[in-house]
Structure 1
Amino acid sequence: MNLFYVQSIVDGVSKVKSFLEDNYIGIPWSALGDLEQASSEELRELLEQRYGLVADKSGEVLQSIQLFAHGMSDGDYVVIKDEDWMYVGDLGDYYYDDSIGTSDDLICHRRGVTWLGRVPLEEINEHMLTLLHEPNVVAQFMLPVTQARLEQALRGNSDATGTVEKALNQGATSAEPELLKTLTEDHTPARVDQSTIEAAVQVLKEALKSKDERLRVQAATAILQYAK
């Protein structure tokens, strides 16, 4: 499981509201077309043909595009920020949406996101502050995800998910809150077969889509603790 930061300012305009309300993140360079099957060499050629970026000057752009299209995976984590908050989400698959055009102010390269909550910027640790100041459009957290301390921040902040209610509009889950509470508490390790573990993780991933704020946070905490 990996963690990424995606900038939310495109052509000087904040996309935070759109990302949160429509449950996705995205990057510019829409005129490149669908990147799902594009190789590194094809990307270099497209950047030169459509944006005039020659190979020796497109390194950071190419890296951001490759990370977004191919470096991220379903189930990884992503953070975005505005002036006051860092928002934490669970990533979905890459897709290309050019239904309304491919102009530079539009976001066609997208990944679905289940938003888990928000954390005040003043409460995040120095590792996350460094990540949020990365100059690239997309950056990967290079330390173990546990060093981000996301589960402590989400669990410890009672208002963690308060203002992303509109973004968290997916279906509820039948998972029981008490089960999630049990999973997030400290217990003596028991012998559990791999299939049972995988089934439990799937239940937790479904719980991330719940309309119940407390349930979402508990599920996120359990998954992050499992990732340790």
Structure 2
Amino acid sequence: MRQDAQDSFEKSVSVGNLLALKRRPHEIYKLPGWTPVMVSAYIVRRTPAGTDRMEEFLQEEMVAIGWSTLGDLSEADKQEIRNRLEKEYPDDDPRAIGLRVGYINRLVNKMDEGNTVLVPRYGNVYVGEVTGEYEYKESLSEDYAHQRPIDWRFNKSAIDGQKAPQKIHKKLYPGTVSHTVQDLDDKNAVETFLKQSAGAEKIRYFELLQDGELYGINKKTIEEAMLTVFQRYYPTMRGAGTRGDDEGDTDLIAENLPGDLTVRIQIKHYGDGDLGTEPIDQLAKSMDDGDRGIVATVGQVSPAAEKHAADSDYEISLIDGWEFTELVFEHRTEFSRSERRLLGLDSLPQVT
């Protein structure tokens, strides 16, 4: 790489340890401006109009609140919600009306696609992601017509709410007044709670990946699955189409990155067997001066492969099955439903 290009690369691309790796330090070259952000989060109670609707929430993939007699609120702002409540409940205390305005307005107007929803039930919590706009189910005979569609996480299983950070725990289980829809302002605390809860599931994912029993990932789909993950770092990455010819083998490629950088990735779907040296040689043959290379596998990396990569004339990093698992779970909240199916995230057995 030219010196000016190298300088440009070092200034514009953040290089660092993105993973807490047990085997060795590992670097992935990250595009500038990429920063994971925890989106807004809300607590929604499972009892619209006083009836436990958790089963309906899960089966119908939504959350809901009562006050259905207010009608469709799709075009209602906060003041209009207040006007309808005061008309519908003229004898109610103004403070109670004010609280209801806040609850309803959060579900109707403040929630947005991609927001996180926590629904406590006894000592556990169901976690979901808002997937669409407010909906009014006029045909419902029961009082939970105001709804938001939800994609439930953790395979629709509850996580342990008692392990939530104190700030979150106090709102999940207030002991006195339970607000129907409540903001969770401490995004870092929410993110920490969800990451900790994902720990056992992450280990199970890795075990199934190693055993070749993870639904969605196999020899035919591994390239597409890894492309889905690596595009979180290199949005322009695409399939390269080479297949082990005399000019080497690159499965995925991202070109024209800052500093004229090209990243090439070679993918190997090994189960029980360790990654050897041959894929490193194949990748190196396809590389030009200044390229960065990654050999990724769902299996293990042999000591010989580590040494071979370190001794290469090119800068080649190795990613094993655990590191790939770390990448998947680091970005799991960003994947679409079809991407999660591809990566096997929606088919994990319940972890207890």
* Alpha-carbon distance change, 210 to 80 in structure 1, aligned in 2, over 3 angstroms: same
* Alpha-carbon distance change, 11 to 42 in structure 1, aligned in 2, over 3 angstroms: closer
Query: Of the candidates 180, 197, 201, which is equivalent to residue 137 of structure 1?
Result: 180
Kept in 1: contact 2:136–2:146 (CA 8 A) = yes
**Residue equivalent to 1:180:** 229
Q: How does 1:144-163 map to 2 (within 5 A)?
A: 145-148=187-190, 149-158=192-201
Kept in 1: contact 2:66–2:145 (CA 8 A) = yes
Q: Secondary structure at the match of 2:74?
A: coil
* Alpha-carbon distance change, 14 to 87 in structure 1, aligned in 2, over 3 angstroms: same
CA distance in 1, matches of 2:203, 2:69: 36
CA distance in 2, matches of 1:17, 1:179: 32
Deviations 1:162-193 (A, max 9, x none): xxxxxxxxxx8986168538969xxxxx969x
TM-score (norm 1): 0.70
Quick check: 1:40 aligned with 2:78? Answer: yes
Q: Secondary structure at the match of 2:153?
A: strand
**Residue equivalent to 2:140:** 100
Quick check: 1:124 aligned with 2:254? Answer: no
Kept in 1: contact 2:134–2:148 (CA 8 A) = yes
Query: Of the candidates 29, 43, 49, which is equivalent to residue 5 of structure 1?
Result: 43
* Alpha-carbon distance change, 217 to 72 in structure 1, aligned in 2, over 3 angstroms: farther
Q: Secondary structure at the match of 2:82?
A: helix
Q: Secondary structure at the match of 2:114?
A: coil
**Residue equivalent to 1:87:** 126
Query: Of the candidates 64, 67, 77, which is equivalent to residue 103 of structure 2?
Result: 64
Q: Secondary structure at the match of 2:336?
A: helix
CA distance in 2, matches of 1:75, 1:50: 32
Kept in 1: contact 2:77–2:109 (CA 8 A) = no
CA distance in 2, matches of 1:133, 1:14: 16
Letter in 2 for 1:3: A
CA distance in 2, matches of 1:140, 1:12: 21
CA distance in 2, matches of 1:90, 1:31: 27
Aligned residues: 191
Which structure has the larger Rg over C-alpha atoms?
A: 2
CA distance in 1, matches of 2:344, 2:119: 21
Deviation at 1:217, TM superposition (A): 9.8
CA distance in 1, matches of 2:171, 2:347: 22
**Residue equivalent to 1:206:** 336
CA distance in 1, matches of 2:83, 2:339: 39
Deviations 1:60-103 (A, max 9, x none): 111111111111101111010212320111102211111134xx
**Residue equivalent to 1:110:** 147
* Alpha-carbon distance change, 40 to 79 in structure 1, aligned in 2, over 3 angstroms: same
Deviation at 1:56, TM superposition (A): 4.7
Kept in 1: contact 2:116–2:128 (CA 8 A) = yes
**Residue equivalent to 2:237:** none
Letter in 2 for 1:136: H
Unmatched 5+ stretches in structure 2: 1-38, 205-215, 234-256, 260-330
Deviations 1:25-48 (A, max 9, x none): 011000111112112222222112
CA distance in 2, matches of 1:13, 1:137: 12
CA distance in 2, matches of 1:62, 1:2: 19
* Alpha-carbon distance change, 191 to 95 in structure 1, aligned in 2, over 3 angstroms: farther
CA distance in 2, matches of 1:22, 1:160: 29
| More helix by percentage | 1
Q: Among all aligned residue pairs of Structure 1 and Structure 2, give the percentage whose two residues are the same amino acid.
A: 18
